[in-house]
Amino acid sequence: MGFNIVRDAFGVLEVLTPHPVLILAAGLEPAPFEQGLALSDEKGELALVCRVWRESLLGTDEIEDHEHRLEGMELLAREDVITRAAAWSTGDPVTVSMTTGGLDLTITPES
């Protein structure tokens, strides 16, 4: 998984992407546009999805005063996709949880 925070004149953009090995090992391709940010397998079934959410706008009527109170993203992959990618890896799969507001990072080995 790749994660980066990019800042420009329009604000902050957090980018979360699957590792290229995951895409290659499972033979994934971009899903149809209407599926959102997703990858599908050789049968055309969704194999990996990225979900992003923002809630509770605070601020006045001026757009520059608006701030999101709750936002997040997650990258979800089917178990068989993770298993195929793990075969290409020298380490064991882990679950990673990150909170950027407090800069908390938790890495949990898969059982």
Nearest CA to 3 out of 77, 74, 53, 91 is that of 74
State in Å, rounded, how far the first CA of the chain is from the last one.
Answer: 19
> Mean of the per-residue pLDDT values for the chain?
76
Q: Which two tokens stand for residue 7?
A: 């800042």
Q: Cβ of 84: how many Cβ atoms within 10 Å?
A: 20
Residue 33, classified by CB atoms within 10 Å of its CB into exposed (0-12), middle (13-18) or buried (19+), is exposed
- Using one digit for the tens of pLDDT, what is the confidence trace for 23-68? 998 999 999 988 888 999 999 999 999 887 766 655 556 655 555 5
pLDDT of 69 > 70? The answer is no
pLDDT of 76 > 70? The answer is yes
Q: Any idea how long the chain is? A: 111
Q: Which two tokens stand for residue 46?
A: 């969704």
